[in-house]
Amino acid sequence: MTIEDLTIALPSPKPLLLRDAALFLDLDGTLAPIAARPQDVRPDSRRTRLVERLTDAMDGRLAVVSGRTLADVDRILEARVTSVAAVHGLVRREPDGRTQEAAPHAGLPAAAARFRDFAGRDSGLIVEEKGLSVALHYRLARSHAAAAQRLAEEIAEETGLTLQHGDMVEELRTPGPTKGDSVRAFLGQAPFAGHRPIFIGDDATDEHGFEAVQAAGGVGILVGPPRETAASFRLLGVDEVLDWLEAAL
């Protein structure tokens, strides 16, 4: 049986029972459609109202776990979610509003400069600097994918930065906590402790989250196309995620 066969066979999740659950939600590709440029993802009234209603109904047991910066998460979700793990877990805002973050790696400025130099060859190449990481997006310049990957691997080897392959993006990040580490941290405190964790995400960077919730007795839900995954269930896309969450209210 192929990987595709296995992933297609993943069932849809059963209806969500809010009283039992702690929700951990990726943003891009899960709550919001992926855009050609990161800045093109904007607030949406349906999404904002949904996370607001879920947070209230679950007594705060909802966290967004994203590769975005904290400021970007707040912009897109209109500051409706307090508990946020940003930059793949390097920044975490606790349920009480306190924020902690890792110290930036010394190799980031040089890595960003090399990404910017590479991006000069095509206007479709976009460099996104996040303070604790730097990303090179090539969704609008896919012919440069292989070269972008080689460059990112070379810089990671030279600097010690952690390389994360994403959906049409190569990201070099400060070594440190992952999305899975953030999930475990949230589960160790109120209001998340003692509840069954559910992680919903679409990208390879979400696999740490899937593994963390499964280890804690919960489940991962993959969003989007078939791929090898640690998730137990699957939803087809963003609209299906929103529909599934709304059905629980």
pLDDT tens, position by position, 62-84: 999 999 999 999 999 999 999 99
User: Which secondary structure element, helix H or strand E, spans residue 128, and what is its range?
Assistant: strand 126-129
Residues written for the chain? 249
- Average pLDDT on 198-215 reads 96
Any idea of the CA torsion for 150, 151, 153, 158, to the nearest 10 degrees?
140
Write the CA distances from 39 to 20, 36, 67, 69, integer angstroms. 35, 9, 13, 12
- Distance between CA atoms of residues 90 and 69, nearest Å: 9
pLDDT tens, position by position, 99-121: 999 999 999 999 999 999 999 99
- Average pLDDT on 196-200 reads 98
pLDDT over 70 at 195, yes or no: yes
Q: What is the pLDDT of residue 8?
A: 55
User: Got the DSSP string for 77-123?
Assistant: TTT----EEEGGGTEEE-TTS-EEEPPPPTTHHHHHHHHHHHHTT-T
Q: How confident is the model at residue 1 (pLDDT cuts 50, 70, 90)?
A: very low
Beta strands in 19-88 (DSSP E): 21-25, 62-65, 84-86
pLDDT over 50 at 22, yes or no: yes
pLDDT tens, position by position, 208-246: 999 999 999 999 999 998 889 999 999 999 999 999 999
Q: Hey, which residues are catalytic here?
A: 26
Cβ-Cβ contacts under 8 Å for 91 (sequence gap 6 or more): 69, 70, 84, 85, 99, 100, 101, 102, 132
pLDDT tens, position by position, 131-189: 999 999 999 999 999 999 999 999 999 999 999 988 899 999 999 999 999 999 999 99
Q: Which two tokens stand for residue 195?
A: 């509840």
Three-class DSSP category at 211: helix
DSSP conformation class of 170 = E
pLDDT over 90 at 36, yes or no: no
Q: What is the pLDDT of residue 218?
A: 97
Q: Which two tokens stand for residue 206?
A: 């979400």
Domains, in order of start, for the chain? 17-85+178-199+206-246 (3.40.50.1000), 108-173 (3.30.70.1020)
| Start-to-end Cα distance in the chain | 38
Other C-beta atoms closer than 10 Å to the C-beta of 179 total 26
Inter-residue contact 181 to 213 (CB < 8 Å): no
Angle between helices 145-159 and 108-119 (to 10 degrees): 160
